[in-house]
Amino acid sequence: MPDVSIVISSSGGPAEALARSLASALEQPGAPEVVLAGAPPAGVTWDPARVRVVEPPAGAGPGEALDAAVAAAGAPLVVVVEPGERLAADALPRHQGALESPSVVASYGRTAVDEGGRVRQRPDQGRGGAGVLGRLLQDRHLVASSACLAWRRDAAGAAPFAGVDSPAGRRLALALRLAGQGELVFHPATLAERTAAPGDVAEQEEVVRVVLGVLYGPQPLDEKTEHRARVRLARELVALGKHHHRQGDLRRAGKFFDEAVKAAPGYFRGRRYQFLNFVKNLLRG
């Protein structure tokens, strides 16, 4: 049985990008299990002796398709590769070394993010240990790709991606779940590459739902972590409000700004002049 299963999402990206993701998985040392979540589009070829295709249930969304592939995979350690992502050449050995410790539930590293020709290493500074939850909420670039993260299957529980249909929402939801289960190890090295995709409203709304799930979930948060969750929620709501303002929907923009202030009033007290100037310009518009 292989030590690691690499599960690759076959939906949501061009065939050329999927082919690169698949090649980066097959080039990893140690003969990992490679599983495709759904049949790839035309133009992508694969070796059935080295790659297994798991068809999702009828009508399943991208999150459920990944859950089906993860459930069918056989290794105790899992790495998910989303559309537009690739594994660095030495990613798996680093993860496997870190996950030898039974107290470690996940291992992650930097992602080289191609932002339209400019490549940035994310995050600038990582953090390991058991107290990563607050940092994940504070720094949206801490886990900058799904492919930079390897995790113990039993730490994520059943169906970790159910109902989460955007890559950004899935990697945040998974990282937050793992951070509540044990220690994470950070590698100050590039373990994955990703091509930045233009954000959309549906993806940002899903991130908001993920943060709400942590903030109002069954597990109580300490005061510091709750503050960080509220600030993250406020920032995401403001971004949504600005989007609707640019689209000319001032009523909806105002609702998002109102909810942002309710979520973290202290955040806006520290930025009152900047925010009030923006609101004044909005009203003048």
Q: Which two tokens stand for residue 282?
A: 């909005």
Q: Which two tokens stand for residue 125?
A: 């500074």
pLDDT at 54: 95
Q: For residues 15 and 13, give the distance between their C-alpha atoms in angstroms, rounded to a whole number.
A: 7
pLDDT at 282: 56
Q: For residue range 74-88, what is the model confidence (pLDDT) as tens digits?
A: 999 999 999 899 999
**Integer CA distances (angstroms), 167 to 34, 71, 188, 280, in order:** 19, 18, 23, 35
Q: Is the dihedral of CA 32, 41, 169, 198 positive or negative?
A: positive
Whole-number average pLDDT of the chain: 90
Q: Which two tokens stand for residue 31?
A: 């003969």
Average pLDDT on 103-124 reads 94
pLDDT at 284: 55
Average pLDDT on 38-51 reads 87
pLDDT at 14: 85
**Integer CA distances (angstroms), 51 to 36, 48, 107, 219, in order:** 7, 5, 24, 38
> Per-residue DSSP letters for 127-174?
--BS--HHHHHH-TTSS--STTEEEEHHHH-S-TTTT--SHHHHHHHH
Q: What confidence category does residue 277 fall into, taking pLDDT thresholds of 50, 70 and 90? A: low
Average pLDDT on 268-274 reads 59
Architecture of domain 4-195: Alpha-Beta Complex (3.90)
Strands (E), the chain: 4-9, 33-37, 51-54, 77-81, 85-87, 104-115, 118-122, 149-152, 183-195
Q: For residue range 208-260, what is the model confidence (pLDDT) as tens digits?
A: 999 999 999 888 899 999 999 999 999 999 899 889 888 988 889 888 988 99
Q: Please state the length of the chain.
A: 285
Q: What is the DSSP letter of 189?
A: E
Reduce the DSSP state of residue 184 to 3 states and report it: strand
Domain spans of the chain, in order of start: 4-195, 201-284
pLDDT at 109: 97
pLDDT above 90 for 183: yes
Q: For residue range 136-161, what is the model confidence (pLDDT) as tens digits?
A: 999 999 999 999 999 999 999 889 99
The bridge status of strand 118-122 relative to strand 104-115 is antiparallel
Average pLDDT on 99-108 reads 95
